[in-house]
Structure 1
Amino acid sequence: MQYRRVYVPGGTYFFTVNLADRSRTLLVDHIDDLRNAVQEVLTSHPFRIDAMVVLPDHLHAIWTLPEDDADYPMRWSLIKAGFSRCIPADEQRSKSRIAKGERGIWQRRYWEHLIRDEQDYTNHVNYIHYNPVKHGHVTRVADWPYSTFHRAIKNGQYPPDWSEEPIFRRLG
């Protein structure tokens, strides 16, 4: 079965990308390598990062792509590969991954959601910024260092003490 994704040139998307081994903390342990991998892709294949949070074992992001471009899979592939090249090859790999010459750092698939409207956008941005609290890493959103929340404070989008529980959590 072919996995179906929605491709909208210039679209705004929410993503969840996970490590294969969710007990590892590679993303924060190697945050500079992740930042460099993202920056390299931003330079060669531009897009806008509207919001992002990096947790030890997964990340969430909202990207807006250029008007004539819908190729977010290529961007994620390049980011994952760039990051993986920086990490020591000590992870467990399945026979399938070995046969395909793949590392075992990332889950093969990721979740994407095309943002539908302003409320959907706001809900997802809030979800991203609240995620470190949701997972128990901090008690205040502002205390998590690996988040665009700090940029949003500087831009006046949030007060420094913001801690709204997202609608996703209230409804769930």
Structure 2
Amino acid sequence: MSNYIRPQIPGATVFFSVCIRAQGSDLLLREIHLLRSAVSRTLRERPVTVNAWVVLPDHMHCIWTMPPGDHDYSTRWRIIKARFSHGLPKGPLRASDLKRKERGIWNRRFWEHHIRGKTDFDAHMEHCWMDPVRHGLVQKPEHWEFTSFAKLKRATA
């Protein structure tokens, strides 16, 4: 089994990709209110600065800046995933899910990348902004409503 060692840099800005196990599902959009609730409750308890967030049908990307002295984004993701999962009806589980006391909804891991400067930050912001277009969900990124950019646009309108 792989042993993942994640950097522990307090106050870091980090890009994340988090996926559900059922590729091609629209679960995250169907249950967007549950996801938003899990995220907002968790980030109220364990704040971060959310620089960007985009939710697609079966995965999401976001950029967080951790508070000074704090590097524990893994716990935040564990809590978000658990809260979301517990709000859904139970479905069939694999033996490995039962053993780990999981619901079988999320991929076990998430991908993270520590941002290394303004160019890197801008590239990952662009990734969040354009991902709905890349996946053929909309023709223009501003037409995608499941993003922090849409919230910003509404606030400035």
Task: Please give the range of the TM-score, normalised by the shorter of the 2 chains.
Answer: over 0.9
The residue identity in structure 1 corresponding to 2:14 is: Y
Contact 1:89 1:103 (8 Å CA) reproduced:
yes
Correspondence 1:40 to 2:47: no
What secondary structure, in the 3-state scheme, does the structure 2 residue paired with 1:32 have? helix
Contact 1:97 1:103 (8 Å CA) reproduced:
yes
Correspondence 1:142 to 2:142: yes
Contact 1:129 1:148 (8 Å CA) reproduced:
no
Distance 1:135 1:85 in 2: 28
Q: What does 1:18-167 align with in structure 2 at a 5 Å threshold?
A: 18-90=19-91, 92-153=92-153
- Count of aligned residue pairs for this structure pair: 156
1:85-123 C-alpha deviation (Å, 9 max, x unpaired):
111112x43211112221100000010000000010000
Percent of matched pairs sharing the same residue: 40
Structure 1: stretches of 5+ with no match in the other structure: 161-172
The residue identity in structure 2 corresponding to 1:80 is: K
Cα offset, 1:151, TM superposition:
3.6
Measured on the aligned residues, the alpha-carbon RMSD in Å equals 1.6
Contact 1:18 1:106 (8 Å CA) reproduced:
yes
Contact 2:144 2:150 (8 Å CA) reproduced:
no
1:134-170 C-alpha deviation (Å, 9 max, x unpaired):
00011111111101122444677xxx9xxxxxxxxxx
Distance 2:127 2:43 in 1: 23
Alpha carbons of structure 1 residues 2 and 59: separation in structure 2 relative to 1, 3 Å: same
Structure 2: stretches of 5+ with no match in the other structure: none
Task: Tell me the residue number matched to 1:11.
Answer: 12
